[in-house]
Amino acid sequence: MCGVFGIYTPAEGPDRDVARSTFFGLFALQHRGQESAGIAVSDGDRVTAMKDMGLVSQVFDEGRLSGLAGHIAIGHTRYSTTGSTVWQNAQPVVRHAGGRTIALGHNGNLTNTAELREELRGRRVSMRSTSDTEVMAALIAEHESGDLGEAVADAMGRIEGAFAAVVMTERGLAGFRDPDGIRPLVVGRLGDAWVLASESCALDLIGATLERDLEPGEMVVVDERGARFRKLGDRPGSLCVFEYIYFARPDSVMHGRGLHEVRRRMGERLADEAPVEADVVIGVPDSGTPAAVGYARRSGIPFGEGLVKNRYVGRTFIQPDQALRERGVRLKFNALRSVLEGRRVVVVDDSIVRGSTTRKLVQMLFEAGAREVHLRVSSPPIVSPCFYGIDMADQDELLAAGRTIEEVRRRLGATSLAYLSLDGLEATAGPAEGFCRACLTGEYPTEIPADMRLAKLRFEPAPVPVEIR
Ligand code: SF4
C-alpha cells in the first residue's frame, strides 16, 4: 500500500503552488501509507525533491513547501513492508542519467525485480537499493530515447506484477498502471491542470474533478503539448478487491462506484447470509462501519457505536512499554460499556488477517459487559498471501489458512463467526473477472515466480465452512 499523486500545470498558465496541491493530495492519501512522505517538483529546468520519515504533516511545513517551487510535481506516501523503515526507501526515487533527472513514486510490487536488476547490473547501471521502485526508475531514466513516453511504454513492457506509478522529468509528468490494473490510479482536472492520484478523495480535497480511472495497462504523458493517453495491452483488469473492502477511503470513487455504498451493500448481504438474533450492531471503526450500517439496516437490529477509535494513533516512533503493550489494542480502540453491557452484540469488521487484534477486540467487548459477541466479517476468509504490494502476512500467519470457520471462531473467542461468501462479494463488489481476489482464492492474475511463491506459500488447504451457531 502506498499513495501516489501528480500534477502538471502549463508553465505559461496562472501561477499555481503545485507543491501545496501535492501536500494536500498526499494529506488525503495518508491512509495509504504513514511511514514516509515525499514531494518532487520541477520548474522546467530542475527537479527538486524532499522526503522524510513520518506523516505528511510531520515531513512538510511552510518553510519546506516554499522551497519547492515549480509547475510540475509528484508526491508519495509510503506504507513499508517489514523491516524497511529507512529513509533510503522513502519516495519519490530520484535518478539522474543522460543529462536529465527523473523522479518516480510507485504503489505496488513487481514480481520480476531480481531479473531486471541483474540485467541493469550487466549494463553497469548503479543501484543504491534492492527496491523494485528503483529498478523501475532506472529502466525509465536509462532509456536511450530520452523521451518520457517512450521510456515509460518500454518499461511497462518489461516490468511484471502490480504497479500504479507517477513519474516526472524537468518538463513532463506521466502516470501508468499495470496491465491487470491491480492498483488504482485516477485522472482529474483542475482548471487547465492535469492531476493523477491513487484515489479520487485526493482530487476532492484540492478541488479537482474526477475525469476517469486510468485503465489497466494505460499510460498518460502530460507536457507542453498537452495530455496523451496510450493503452498497452487489452487484459480485462483485476483491481485489488481489498481496495473495495478496506484500503481505499469510503469517500473515494473507484471504477465508477462509491466505496461507502459498496461496503454498506456488503453489510446488507452479510445480514442476509448470516442472520443472528441480537440487540445491537456495532462496527470496528472506521473501515467496518459502513458494512455495520448495512447489516443493521437489513437486519432491523439497531446500530450503535460500541467502539471508539483513537483517530490520532497512526504510526508512532515512541514504543509503548511492556505494560501498555499488553493492553495492546486499547491504544487504538476502547469499548463503550453503556452501549454493550448486558447486550447481545453483532460486531462487523471488514477482514481478519492474523486475528490478533480481533481476538483482543472480542475480549474487550466481553469485558465491557457484552453478553454475546457475534462476529461478522464483510469479506471472505483470507487464505493466501498477497504478492502485489499489500503487506498482509505470510501464509502460515493467516488465521483462516488451513482452518475451519469453527476453529477460527474458537481462537477468536467469539460467540459466533461468519464471513461474507465469495458469491456475496461478487454480488456486491462486481463480477469476479474484474478483480484480483487471489488472497481469498489462491488464484493469482499473474505468474508468480517460484522463488517468490516458495518464500511465502505453504499450500495449506482452504477453510471448510461450518454451520453458524
Ligand atoms: S492478493 Fe488480495 S490484497 Fe493482494 S492485490 Fe490481490 S486482492 Fe488485493
Both ends of the chain: CA-CA distance in Å?
Answer: 36
Q: How is the chain split into domains, by residue range?
A: 2-237, 258-310+329-430
- Is 386 a residue of the active site? no
CATH superfamily to which 2-237 belongs: Aminohydrolase, N-terminal nucleophile (Ntn) domain (3.60.20.10)
pTM, two decimal places: 0.90
Q: Which of 32, 239, 436, 437 to mutate to test the pocket of ligand 1 (most atoms within 8 A of CB)?
A: 436
Cα–Cα distance for residue pair 162/164, rounded to 1 Å: 7
Lowest-confidence range among 12-16, 18-22, 224-228? Answer: 12-16
Nearest CA to ligand 1 atom 8: 240
Neighbours of 431 (CB within 10 A): 9
CA neighbor of 196 nearest in space, from 4, 389, 29: 4
Q: Does residue 454 or residue 141 have the better pLDDT? A: 141
Under 8 Å CB-to-CB from 72, ≥6 apart: which residues?
Answer: 7, 8, 9, 18, 41, 42, 44, 168, 171, 172, 173
Neighbours of 363 (CB within 10 A): 17
Cα 182 to averaged position of ligand 1 atoms, centre (Å)? 8
Q: Which of 390, 398, 443, 456 to mutate to test the pocket of ligand 1 (most atoms within 8 A of CB)?
A: 390
Cβ-defined contacts of 145-148 (< 8 Å, 24+)? 146/98, 146/100, 148/102, 148/172, 148/174, 148/221, 148/223
DSSP state of 287: T
Cα–Cα distance for residue pair 437/428, rounded to 1 Å: 14
Cα–Cα distance for residue pair 294/296, rounded to 1 Å: 5
Cα 43 to averaged position of ligand 1 atoms, centre (Å)? 38
**pLDDT digits 0-9 by tens, 337-353:** 999 999 999 999 999 99
Percent of the chain scored above 90 by pLDDT? 74
CB 290 within 8 A of CB 244: no
Domain 258-310+329-430 has CATH 3.40.50.2020: yes
Cα–Cα distance for residue pair 463/406, rounded to 1 Å: 9
Cα 42 to averaged position of ligand 1 atoms, centre (Å)? 34
**pLDDT digits 0-9 by tens, 119-158:** 999 999 988 777 889 999 999 999 998 899 999 999 999 9
**pLDDT digits 0-9 by tens, 374-409:** 999 999 999 999 988 787 778 888 999 999 999 999
Cα 390 to averaged position of ligand 1 atoms, centre (Å)? 7
